[in-house]
Amino acid sequence: MELFELYNEQNLPFWQTKIRSDVHRDGDWHRSTEVWVINQNQELLLNLRHPDKDLFANLWDVCIAGHLMPGENYRTAAIREVKEELGIQVPSSALHFVDVWTMDGFDAKTQSFDREFTGVFVWKTQLELSSFTPQAEEIAELKYVSLTEVKQMLENPGSGLPFIPMESIFLNMMDRIETTILPQL
């Protein structure tokens, strides 16, 4: 049974936990982390969510992501998620913090809410796809796609890969990453 800590709309704790399925059913605010993996060719690592996922199954995601466990911070969760989902132990120093973003999504297929305060990180790597061992129950496929192509698909939903329906949030994150983080790496 996976428990999430609950937060109010200002990202302040309620000091309560709740079962994952109930959180998504009720639309409670909780915390997650994202790691945007970008290679030396300015390509973003995309992952196709497994068909059995409880949220946004069979849709493409722009990052490696996961929920924080009770008591966990954004950075620790990011390191754990990369290890779990890609099989790589990434050093903390390799993760570049972007910001905490408000994610407010809805999965029409499952009628579930995904309201999160997400700690966003960038990991610039030279690793090839073959270096990753995707977590079978989380990821159906991995691929690198140029930042330009990803941006074009997000700007024109339905024109390419089917993404999680948070395109405008992802585009804002991409803009922030391209203007503030990538020039420093």
Total of domains in the chain: 1
Q: Domain holding 163: CATH number? A: 3.90.79.10
Provide the pLDDT for residue 40: 95
- Kindly state whether residue 14 falls inside one of the protein's structural domains: no
Asked if 18 contacts 3 with a C-beta cutoff of 8 angstroms, the reply is yes
Other beta carbons within 10 Å of 67: 20
Tokens found for residue 19:
């079962």
- Kindly state whether residue 92 falls inside one of the protein's structural domains: yes
- Kindly state whether residue 27 falls inside one of the protein's structural domains: no
- Kindly state whether residue 174 falls inside one of the protein's structural domains: yes
Residue 41's alpha-carbon distances to 10, 21, 141, in angstroms, are 37, 38, 20
Interhelix angle for 167-176 vs 147-155, to 10°? Answer: 150
- Kindly state whether residue 55 falls inside one of the protein's structural domains: yes
- Kindly state whether residue 106 falls inside one of the protein's structural domains: no
- Kindly state whether residue 121 falls inside one of the protein's structural domains: yes
Provide the pLDDT for residue 155: 96
- Kindly state whether residue 13 falls inside one of the protein's structural domains: no
Residue 118's alpha-carbon distances to 144, 162, 184, in angstroms, are 23, 22, 22
Q: Which domain holds residue 180?
A: 33-97+117-184
Q: Residue 161: which of 141, 181, 135 has the closest Cα?
A: 141
The residues that bridge with 47 in the sheet, in sequence order, are: 61, 142
Q: In tens digits, what is the pLDDT along the chain, a chain of 185 residues?
A: 899 999 999 999 999 999 999 999 999 999 999 999 999 999 999 999 999 999 999 999 999 999 999 999 999 999 999 999 999 999 999 999 999 999 999 989 999 999 999 999 999 999 999 999 999 999 999 999 999 999 999 999 988 999 999 999 999 999 999 999 999 88
Provide the pLDDT for residue 1: 84
Give the Cα separation of 71 and 65 in Å (integer). Answer: 17
